[in-house]
Amino acid sequence: MMVHSSGTLQAVLALILLLVAGCGSPDPSSEHEHWRARGGGPSSIRYSSLTQIDTTNVDQLERAWTYHTGDATDNSQIQANPIVVKGTLYGTSPQLKVIAVDAATGDEQWTFDPLSDSLDVNLGLNANRGVTYWSDGGTGRILFTAGSTLFALDASDGSLVESFGTDGRADLKQGLGGRAEDLYVSATSPGVIYEDLLIIGSRVSEGADAAPGDIRAFNVRTGDLEWTFHTIPRPGEFGHDTWADSTAWQRVGGVNSWAGMSVDRERGIVFVPTGSASPDFYGGNRKGKNLFANSLLALDAATGERIWHYQTVHHDLWDRDLPSPPSLVTVEHDGKLVDAVAQTTKTGFVFLFHRETGEPLFPVKERPVPSESPLQGEEPWPTQPMPTTPEPFVRQKMTPADVNPYVSDSVQAVLRSQLQSLNRDNMFEPPSLQGTLMFPGFDGGAEWGGSAFNPTSDVLFVNSNEVPWIMTMLPTGTEDDEASVAGGPFAVGRQAYRTHCMACHGPERTGGGDFPSLVNADQRYDPREIRDLIRNGRRMMPSFDYLSAGKEKAIINFLFQREHYGLDPDTMRVDETRPNESPYVMAGYEKFRTPEGYPAVSPPWGTLNAINLNTGESLWRIPLGTYPELSAQGIPPTGTENYGGPVATAGGVVFIAATLDRKIRAVHQRTGEVLWSAELPAAGFATPSIYERNGTQYLVIACGGGKLGTDSGDAYVAFALPNDS
């Protein structure tokens, strides 16, 4: 690979690009020259100040190296945004191995397997979006989570740091209370560093069995728990009165930060986006606004004390978690440069706040929404906050005129009839027994890939989904254990499946979204494998280790449709603790589709958007991704569902993979024109990283596939300019 030989030439090119970009001011921080943390750095703006690759030569990019982890399986994924420190790239594999490879060649340096028999730990395979690096100037450490265990590794060789926690491991359930001991707790996103602290959130169940989602800070040197912030306030704490039942904190879970965080190290503030309270779709047993659910929290990074907060959804009934770390930006507002924080949402809004006070820079209106629920005991909140600027970057309503135009008239008529049978007039229509349209869908709008921000132009780039889903609620049933036993083992298993499994796998066990079908499960699994899945979880599936042995056996009997296990009525009466059980459960994650499997709404189904954060103006919007079979019919690009995010560079380019067509693309920041694309060995459902090594600028993407019906992969692929460019 060849680098520009003159440092002066690099400076001139950077200056020209700055002038072309227009308004805004350059960020003088060296943070953006490296990729030492997920999202590019603590500000999480996914931006690189490197300029070797630009709009004039990006079409010459070629594959520089490929590294295979060798452990992909059916439906496995790699969602990691790799980091690069001192010439080594660190990431994770489909089976949660930590990998360290030479960033210039892709040659393996070491791997660490948290599932190794020698570690004697029992871990589920949760999704993982990367690792965290810390150093005090000496040997660096890699902080990494698998299941409910936080590991500290020596960055030079991958060995466990014995002085951290217990033999290099700390328990992620620390500080969550006794209720969490038997419940599912993991972390999909890596923690962030502030001085000697690792601040981290968690992933918990989204049902009535959810553990608390408190934010914790661990000492990077010792593994000790340093502080805890209660996301469901306790008596005497700010926000406790937003829960109608003063005992809610003792039984309600969730309100967790699974998406990751951003840190203003100069101010000592960590910015924490949170998700909904559990269960996701019924709030009759958690009435009130429910702080600090669905909120952006600004906490003192040293102590965990609240500085400010802003709740983006009140009393969430739609799983409208804040899906990604916010971007710490500087914008020009009312003639002044203002340090701000930008948070994108699943509903397609951009909230822009003053970084120190939490005041919105653009007006946010509390607008009336439907407040009558057909579900007994439910009390939806009557208003929801909606920014007036920027305008939403997705459509937020689907009408009969919006059905997919690329199907026959008769199919369009069926789709319109189905649409009209749903509650659909407002994106905050409460969940219902008849069915409620979710548009934007469960997966956005914006998703976990996050957004990119160019600090020299003050433009935010965010990809989004525009796929409708259908949410239908069903009663969980009221039969007691003795009545269930009287109905036979399948009745018991059916009831347990309905309560604990149906929301993901559907009432007919056919799956939906990214959740697999369990029809004919006996042809793919033996009873022991199903038992291990129930106890340990895997990827998107949480652990149900708290289930009684009787319910566990009953579920297996139901799935296999035969009495593999005999059921003891006395055992069946001993059930798990249900402090927050819901009388309703969602019938499954159902996409609203055409018979061919395409979204029922008109395109675009996935987009990439550019928004000027100084003015709130939308600059351009393009479809992101294609279906080759539709393109062959002469249908214009439709965009596809997409997972993973963009990165922006000082070279005027936005790079993004994320689509199911297995492409990575380079897009012109000013025009939205696609300048280059390359096919990947598997879909890149992850966010790329940009770095420099030995004078060469690299673009790297994890190609794990495994979502949206795509094949799974095991590759990290790096691109660079050819030697003679």
Residue 222 near residue 150, CB atoms below 8 Å: no
Query: Which DSSP letter does residue 171 get?
Result: E
Q: What is the 3-state secondary structure (H, E, C) of 207-228?
A: CCCCCECCEEEEECCCCCEEEE
pTM of the predicted structure, to 2 decimals: 0.88
Percentages helix, strand, coil for the chain, rounded to the nearest 5? 15, 30, 55
Scan for tokens 């393996």, then name that residue.
108
Residue 571 to residue 550: CA distance in whole angstroms: 6
Beta bridge partners of residue 699, listed in sequence order: 690, 719
Q: What is the 3-state secondary structure (H, E, C) of 262-327?
A: EEECCCCEEEEECCCECCCCCCCCCCECCCCCCEEEEEECCCCCEEEEEECCCCCCCCCCCCCCCE
Nearest to 717 by CA among 705, 701, 693: 701
Q: What is the pLDDT of residue 3?
A: 32
User: In the numeric block, which tokens belong to residue 22?
Assistant: 């227009």
- Could you tell me how far CA 692 lies from the centroid of its own chain? 27
Element (H, E) at 249: helix 248-251
Q: What is the pLDDT of residue 547?
A: 72
Integer angstrom CA distances of residue 175 from 69, 215, 248, 548: 35, 9, 18, 25
Q: What is the pLDDT of residue 504?
A: 75
Residues contacting 6, CB < 8 A, separation 6+: none
Domain ranges of the chain: 1-111+606-725, 477-580
Query: Which DSSP letter does residue 403 get?
Result: B
Tell me which long-range contacts 400-403 makes (C-beta under 8 A, separation of at least 24): 402/601, 402/602, 403/600, 403/601, 403/602
Beta bridge partners of residue 470, listed in sequence order: 437, 590
Residue 584 near residue 281, CB atoms below 8 Å: yes
- Could you tell me how far CA 220 lies from the centroid of its own chain? 24
Tell me which long-range contacts 15-19 makes (C-beta under 8 A, separation of at least 24): 17/51, 17/54, 17/456, 17/650, 17/651, 17/652, 18/456, 18/650
Helix (H, G, I), strand (E, B) or coil at 559: helix
CATH number for region 477-580:
1.10.760.10
Scan for tokens 């249908």, then name that residue.
635
Element (H, E) at 656: strand 653-656
Neighbours of 105 (CB within 10 A): 14
Classify residue 97 as exposed, middle or buried by CB count within 10 Å of its CB (0-12, 13-18, 19+): buried
Burial code (b: 16+ CB inside 10 Å, e: under 16) for 142-171 equals bbbbbbbbbbbbbbeebebbeebbeebbbb
Length reported for the chain: 725
Per DSSP, the residues of 11-28 read HHHHHHHHHHH-SS----
Q: What is the pLDDT of residue 329?
A: 98
- Could you tell me how far CA 142 lies from the centroid of its own chain? 21
Q: What is the pLDDT of residue 511?
A: 74
Scan for tokens 């139901």, then name that residue.
558
Q: What is the pLDDT of residue 692?
A: 98
Q: Provide the phi-psi class of 294: left if phi over 0, else alpha when psi is between -120 and 50, else beta.
A: left
Residues contacting 56, CB < 8 A, separation 6+: none
Residue 258 near residue 321, CB atoms below 8 Å: yes
Q: What is the pLDDT of residue 11?
A: 39
Scan for tokens 């790297």, then name that residue.
700
User: Which residues of the chain carry a pLDDT beneath 70?
Assistant: 1-30, 117-124, 477-489, 491-492, 495, 498-499, 503, 512-514, 535-541, 543, 545-546, 548, 564-580
